Amino acid sequence: MKGSNFFMRDRETESHWQQINGECFEGPLKGKRLEMLPFLLTTWGEWREVHPETLALLPEPAYKANYEVMAKRNTNLPSSESPGRGVIRQDSRLPPHEQVMGIEVGGKHKAYPLPFLRKQPVLNDQVGTSSIVVVHNEAGETTTVFSRVVNGRTLVFHEASPGVVNTLIDDQTHSRWTPYGECTAGKMKGQKLDTIVPLPSFWFAWAEFYPDTQIYSTPTR
């Protein structure tokens, strides 16, 4: 552990890499950073519906009990519980174990608490100078994030039906979009929004490594 976050060691150079941001902090590759690949934290049912041909990596049977203990602990953990020892810095703006979706765009950082996302599942916002849209499906706790700029034009999105996020509509062209950033009908049919990878985290961990982070409060268009 380094701070409150575990780190990895590569076999080739024995360099140490931070899990939360992929940065090498010790060893021959110090200062390098791993590239973040797009991923989606969702339910198996939702993933299979979108990607029916997918293969699944099964959990290691020997660690089944450990998986269940950690899943239960993270689900029932009080948000105000102390993060424990080893935290480099603490930020009291949110409870330590408040679950957030952290976003990094252009070197700027912003945290979106899950309680806000559950109340307002489609958020048109800014991170630094970047216009983004955050889409949250409470049923599977699935969050997707995209740039709102398409061909130099900034779009504003809303749900096709209040509280239902399986279809989005942009105010500018009234085109219809999936929560995965694909336009399926309208003037922009065939267009795809640029993906931004949200990082699910507890507040204390996100704030520890990104002390400059802002916290979402109200949408900015």
Question: For the stretch 85-120, what's the b/e string if a residue is b when 16 or more beta carbons lie within 10 angstroms of its beta carbon?
Answer: eebeeebeebebbbbbbbbbbeebbbbbbbebbeee
Q: pLDDT band at 3, cuts 50/70/90?
A: low
Q: Is residue 55 part of a domain?
A: yes
Q: Is residue 220 part of a domain?
A: no
142 and 61 share a domain? Answer: yes
82 and 135 share a domain? Answer: yes
Q: Is residue 221 part of a domain?
A: no
Residue 206: CB atoms within 10 Å: 27
Question: What whole-number distance in Å separates Cα of residue 72 and Cα of residue 150?
Answer: 41
Give residues with Cβ within 8 angstroms of 109, minimum separation 6: 102, 103, 127, 210, 212, 213, 214
The answer to pTM > 0.75 is yes
Look at residue 221 and tell me whether its pLDDT is greater than 60: no
Per residue in 35-70, pLDDT (tens digit) is 888 888 888 888 888 889 999 888 888 888 888 887
The number of folded domains in the chain is 2
Q: Is residue 140 part of a domain?
A: yes
30 and 105 share a domain? Answer: no
Q: Is residue 108 part of a domain?
A: yes
- Structural domain span for residue 1: 1-35
